[in-house]
Structure formats: structure tokens, C-alpha cells
Amino acid sequence: MPDFIEATYRNAKYLEYIRTLSCTVCKKPSPSEAHHISTGGMALKCSDLETAPLCNTHHMEVTSVNSGKKTFVEKYRIDWIAVRLNCLVGFILKKNSQIEDIREVLLKALETTIKNGEVR
């Protein structure tokens, strides 16, 4: 990977957790699909910490060309930041999460939040 492209954070355990949650939109029970909320730029997926659980139906809708993410968010009144925070907190409080996993996820989440200008 060229020096100017920052590696996107990946965490298989976190994605596995996201897939155990109910759909953000309709609350359909798991398994859900881990929807990457934004893009990482240059055709890259965003960090695995920027994911939300969606059932197959809603995942297909948000990624369809006709729907688009903005329309989807407006239609269902989704606050992606709140969804991400709820997912992070749930992962941290999960009984079998290891302290190393929690520490890594929290540090990356904080780094991403600061980088995106979400902390004031």
C-alpha cells in the first residue's frame, strides 16, 4: 500500500459483534449485516468501527443506487453517530470481551472521532 494511503482499521471481533445485533431500522433480530456507514475514500470501506447492523432488506435499500444514503437517513431518521456509540458501548459491556479488544477499539474510535472533527 502506498505511503499516502492510510490503512483502514479492521476488527473481525467487532464486526462479529455487530452481526449479532438487531437491525437499526426495523429491529429484526440477528443475524444482521455490518453496514459500513461511510466510505474510506478512494473506493475504500471506512473503518470497521463505523458500522451499523442492518437486516438484508435495509442493507440492500441503503446501498441501492436509487435510494442513496442521504434519502435512507432522512426516510428512517437515523443518527449514525448515536448508532455507532450504542454499538461501541454494547461491545465494551459484552461479557466475553477481552480488555485488549476493548482498549484497541476505544483507542481507534477516539482517533476516528477526533480525525472526523466530531469532538469539540
**Does residue 54 lie within any of the structural domains?**
yes
pLDDT at 1 > cutoff 60: no
Q: What is the CA radius of gyration of the chain?
A: 14
**Does residue 50 lie within any of the structural domains?**
yes
Cα torsion 62, 66, 113, 47: sign: positive
pLDDT at 40 > cutoff 70: no
Residue among 87, 88, 52, 90 nearest 72 (CA): 52
pTM above threshold 0.75: no
State how far the Cα of 41 lies from the Cα of 39, in Å rounded to an integer: 5
**Does residue 120 lie within any of the structural domains?**
no
Q: Whole domain around residue 52: which residue ranges?
A: 12-115
pLDDT at 2 > cutoff 90: no
User: At 53, which CATH number?
Assistant: 3.30.40
Per-residue pLDDT at 120: 44
**Does residue 4 lie within any of the structural domains?**
no
**Residue predicted with more confidence, 22 or 9:** 22
Mean pLDDT of 28-42: 82
CB 7 within 8 A of CB 36: no
pLDDT one-digit tens code per residue, 53-112: 999 999 999 888 666 777 888 899 998 888 988 898 888 877 666 777 777 777 777 777
